[in-house]
Structure 1
Amino acid sequence: MKEFISRKATKIRLLDFKSLPMRTFHITWFSFFICFFGWFGIAPLMAVVREELQLTKEQIGSTIIASVAITVLARLAIGWLCDRIGPRITYTYLLILGAIPVMCIGLSNSFEAFLLFRLVIGVTGASFVITQYHASAMFAPNVVGTANATTAGWGNLGGGVTQMIMPLLFSGFIALGFSDNLSWRYAMILPGIVMIVMGIIYYRYTKDTPEGNFKTLKKEKDIEASASKTSHKRENTFLLAVKDIRVWALFLIYGACFGIELTINNIGAIYYKDLFDLDLKTAGLIAGLFGLMNLFARSLGGYFGDKSGIKWGLKGRILFLFTVLLLEGITLMAFSQIRMLPMAIVVMVLFSLCVQMAEGATFSIVPFIHKKAVGAVSGIVGAGGNVGAVLAGFLFRSEGISYSYALLILGICVTVISLFSFLVRFSEKEEKIARREIKASLETLLPVKN
């Protein structure tokens, strides 16, 4: 057990860019960040696109659904691919191929073309699964929740930064003399270029596991000893995850937190613009605050999940998840009813804190569900976030439901779903194994006695 743990990092050293686990940590979160940036890059510019393409509220709702719908299938497939060929090659292809529709969305001249590009771009959202898989492969149980939460949180930060940066890029092209119609199109080229660069970096500077790449390990017939191994019945790992009710409970839970975050990323800027009569840049800056909470909020969820696990076992992780998810539902309902801008911003920040802590808490539990099917479990749970966003999208698509009322309905749903946390149970055997792993991880941190 100690030998297994020693191959993984037991500490997160943010200034370490040389060791394989920390180098992978930084490359994977930034790759997710730029994928997220490209995924939602067009969202803060929707007010401009709406005018040019003359989109109705129903059509805007359809594009919101499209942007997250295909990610459901993509995340399932990506989780399976990570188990099969490893996260390094999977991420490389996703980054480079995903850059193509991001840069080409500017070719849209009709609702149908724009809808198609938003649909295809949604595949880049599967990058989350690879990030979680790779962090789980590189970090020991005592910090895996924090590592997962931080890499995902800093990646999700792209959703907040894009709300601020894209209107500025748009304004920059306007200042250079380009028209509104051309400026939003040119602005989308930048994230696509960075995605291609990160694809090359990912391939050159990461490995699948602390022991090496899947391909090399297979040649050495040592894959069964690697930290990210799947069982010898590789074809059954997905089925193993599908049959477990805990996976589906976490699927619903992640839909109630990450699904809500995706929804706010899509409608945040236009919500503030229309409800409070703000200009595009101001609305984008305020909406961006929601995503900026990822700088630390999701990490806090993983950190407190780890601490709860160390003190109270796996049950402690579950109780913490329930608490923050319940608070998320309450703060979302409150946010939906506020009509004073300063108060709306304050409550939105509190709501965002709960959302992202719930996300971090969820993936502090995921690595403990099935060690032989981490990719499959991560893929299914991650897909739950997108299913939640798709279902929420139908509320915002309806002409008869205001954005505020739709948010109120979502707040009620989140509150109810928080109870599903108690369906995630672990046997005494699983609790003992987790305690032994935690103990082994902590022992590697103790100074060696002479």
Structure 2
Amino acid sequence: MAQSSSFNLFSFQGKMKVLHFSWIAFFITFVVWFNLAPLLQAVKESLGLSTEEIKTLLILNVAITIPARVLIGMLTDKYGPKITYSALLAVCSIPCFMFALADNFTQAAIARFALGCIGAGFVIGIRLVSEWFPHNELGTAEGIYGGWGNFGSAAAAFTLPTLAVVFGGDDGWRYAMGITGVMSLLFSFVFWKNVSDTPKGSTYFRPKNLGAMEVTSKGDFFFLLIMKLPMYLALALLAWKLSPSGVGLVSHFAVNAIYAGLTALYLYELTQVWKVNKNVFKEPVPEIHRYSFKQVAVLNVLYFATFGSELAVVSMLPLFFSDTFELSPVVAGMVASAYAFMNLMSRPGGGWLSDRFGRKPTLLILTAGLALGYLLMGNVNSSWPVWLAVVAAMTCSFFVQSGEGAVFAVVPLIKRRLTGQIAGMTGAYGNVGAVVYLTVLTFVDYSQFFYVIAGTAALGFVALLFLDEPKGQIVEVGEDGNITMIDVAKS
């Protein structure tokens, strides 16, 4: 059972201590993950990279995060958040140092690809926070974890260029990036010393198998296989962008080998899903132990539209303001940062609204606002005052990030022992969305880009109609056979 003490943000005891250490860990992962963007120009000049090579590094930065979030979710459920988060922070400091020491594009590309794993840290904290907070505080707690942690990307944008200047010279960027690696390494030990997986006396429920997500019906077995396809297709899309048909940095042979590898990997995963879930074809799962995979699928679609659009828009918004209003790159970057700043309050706000007014109603309202917000952004042009365009971006950002908070107010209420895997899959769909939206941007203008996001948000609204409001209790069985009833809503 989660602790029942009061929710006090200024407390550093019990569950609040765990929340603070969790969001700080996530904050550091985002500082490290996004330490390239604010130092792009310095890296480009120092290593003598072309514009195409820089674009490739940005693609590689998010590529491995898609499968990593799924894998890290599985490891979290199996081994617990404490060891998984500590290990991730420590291990990912290595490619961070490798990038800071890189002398050419190949070294930088390998390091950047590996460093994308740190973007999977998010899913670990989702499971950890769910272990410590009751259902009526869970949305708020998860929102604070996600929103304050996400702010790491904005913090990197504001601090790393200054650090690079302080150290000065051609290697200033190397010291700035190296410092983020040191932060990650040191905090891995701090996290390990100060956090436990559950409150004292509580049971940490683990999945029966590590190989694949459990489902509890025949229909959900096939539904799971279908929902895994977009993750592989997104990785294939990334490979295509690197091929001669895209930026031309890998050969036709190499990209065909990647396609073959992804196909083989999907077929292997199919065998793992069968191995874990073949029993559902032999005998029905007792009703008390069932959960609906439909819930997961709906949240995947919503996170595709929310976090997927956030990652894509954060990447292109400075250029959008620069091109539309003829602003200098520095001013455009500062103006665009207003979008990311909304994370501090919007994501916790979405979780809080979800706790107070219900999961499904909150998501319906926020998703409708999301669609309207991007429709509004699609109408921004050079005739608008800059301040009004910034207000439009911040309004849109509120619905995007509140929606993210509301999505992860539902994720831990589906099946406790699978929370890491569910969070991993939903989180991966956010990265899938980013890949799709950024690819769309290469074919259309800014206005059409925003309209496409609005259209997918509208699809998300339709999908939401099929979401069931969490109610009553979910059942978990401990390794000793004892049954525990976990509240997910007011009785």
TM-score norm. by structure 2 comes to 0.75
The equivalent residue for 2:458 is: 415
1:432-447 to structure 2, matched below 5 A, reads: 432-433=472-473, 438-439=489-490
Change (3 A) 1:334 1:109: farther
The equivalent residue for 1:326 is: 368
Does structure 2 retain, via aligned residues, the 8 Å contact 1:88–1:202?
A: yes
Does structure 2 retain, via aligned residues, the 8 Å contact 1:69–1:387?
A: no
Q: CA deviation at 1:50?
A: 4.8
Amino acid in structure 2 at the alignment position of 1:239: E
- Once residues 109 and 410 of structure 1 are traced to their aligned partners in structure 2, the CA distance between those partners, rounded to angstroms, is 38
Secondary structure of the residue that 2:310 maps to in structure 1? helix
1:15 aligns with 2:10: yes
- Once residues 294 and 240 of structure 1 are traced to their aligned partners in structure 2, the CA distance between those partners, rounded to angstroms, is 33
Change (3 A) 1:140 1:166: same
1:254 aligns with 2:254: no
Question: After alignment, is 236-245 or 91-100 more displaced?
Answer: 236-245
Secondary structure of the residue that 1:142 maps to in structure 2? helix
Change (3 A) 1:11 1:71: farther
- Once residues 6 and 16 of structure 2 are traced to their aligned partners in structure 1, the CA distance between those partners, rounded to angstroms, is 9
The equivalent residue for 2:205 is: 229
Question: After alignment, is 154-163 or 325-334 more displaced?
Answer: 325-334
Residue from 73, 87, 98 that aligns with 2:92:
98
Q: CA deviation at 1:433?
A: 2.7
Secondary structure of the residue that 2:376 maps to in structure 1? helix
- Once residues 408 and 111 of structure 1 are traced to their aligned partners in structure 2, the CA distance between those partners, rounded to angstroms, is 36
Q: CA deviation at 1:17?
A: 1.0
The equivalent residue for 1:240 is: 215
Q: CA deviation at 1:386?
A: 1.1
- Once residues 95 and 320 of structure 2 are traced to their aligned partners in structure 1, the CA distance between those partners, rounded to angstroms, is 26
TM-score norm. by structure 1 comes to 0.82
The equivalent residue for 1:201 is: 190
- Once residues 88 and 49 of structure 1 are traced to their aligned partners in structure 2, the CA distance between those partners, rounded to angstroms, is 34
The equivalent residue for 1:219 is: none
Residue from 172, 177, 186 that aligns with 2:166:
172
The equivalent residue for 2:417 is: 372
Question: After alignment, is 319-328 or 264-273 more displaced?
Answer: 264-273
1:124-139 to structure 2, matched below 5 A, reads: 124-139=118-133
1:49-448 to structure 2, matched below 5 A, reads: 49-50=43-44, 53-56=48-51, 59-174=53-168, 178-179=169-170, 182-211=171-200, 226=203, 228-230=204-206, 233-235=208-210, 238-240=213-215, 243=224, 244-309=293-358, 317-338=359-380, 339=382, 340-396=385-441, 398=442, 400-425=443-468, 431-433=471-473, 438-439=489-490
Amino acid in structure 1 at the alignment position of 2:11: D
Residues paired across the two proteins, number: 402
Change (3 A) 1:328 1:116: farther
Question: After alignment, is 387-396 or 275-284 more displaced?
Answer: 275-284
Amino acid in structure 2 at the alignment position of 1:344: A
Change (3 A) 1:207 1:436: closer
- Once residues 274 and 54 of structure 1 are traced to their aligned partners in structure 2, the CA distance between those partners, rounded to angstroms, is 24
Q: CA deviation at 1:246?
A: 1.9
- Once residues 283 and 168 of structure 1 are traced to their aligned partners in structure 2, the CA distance between those partners, rounded to angstroms, is 18
Q: CA deviation at 1:239?
A: 2.2
CA deviation map 1:356-405 (0-9, x unaligned) = 10000001111121123111111111111111112223234x3x534554
- Once residues 55 and 372 of structure 2 are traced to their aligned partners in structure 1, the CA distance between those partners, rounded to angstroms, is 25
Secondary structure of the residue that 1:14 maps to in structure 2? coil
Secondary structure of the residue that 1:240 maps to in structure 2? coil
- Once residues 235 and 194 of structure 1 are traced to their aligned partners in structure 2, the CA distance between those partners, rounded to angstroms, is 31
Question: After alignment, is 249-258 or 84-93 more displaced?
Answer: 249-258
Q: CA deviation at 1:277?
A: 4.1
Question: After alignment, is 95-104 or 280-289 more displaced?
Answer: 280-289
Secondary structure of the residue that 1:239 maps to in structure 2? coil
Does structure 1 retain, via aligned residues, the 8 Å contact 2:74–2:210?
A: no
Question: After alignment, is 299-308 or 339-348 more displaced?
Answer: 339-348
- Once residues 157 and 166 of structure 1 are traced to their aligned partners in structure 2, the CA distance between those partners, rounded to angstroms, is 14
Does structure 2 retain, via aligned residues, the 8 Å contact 1:101–1:120?
A: yes
Structure 2 gap segments, 5+ residues each: 225-292, 475-485
Change (3 A) 1:248 1:149: same
- Over the aligned positions, Cα root-mean-square deviation in angstroms equals 2.6
Q: CA deviation at 1:114?
A: 3.5
Change (3 A) 1:439 1:418: closer
Secondary structure of the residue that 2:397 maps to in structure 1? helix
Does structure 2 retain, via aligned residues, the 8 Å contact 1:145–1:305?
A: yes
- Once residues 431 and 173 of structure 1 are traced to their aligned partners in structure 2, the CA distance between those partners, rounded to angstroms, is 55
Q: CA deviation at 1:270?
A: 4.1
Q: CA deviation at 1:350?
A: 0.8
Does structure 1 retain, via aligned residues, the 8 Å contact 2:75–2:210?
A: no
The equivalent residue for 1:314 is: none
Change (3 A) 1:129 1:290: same
- Once residues 373 and 335 of structure 2 are traced to their aligned partners in structure 1, the CA distance between those partners, rounded to angstroms, is 17
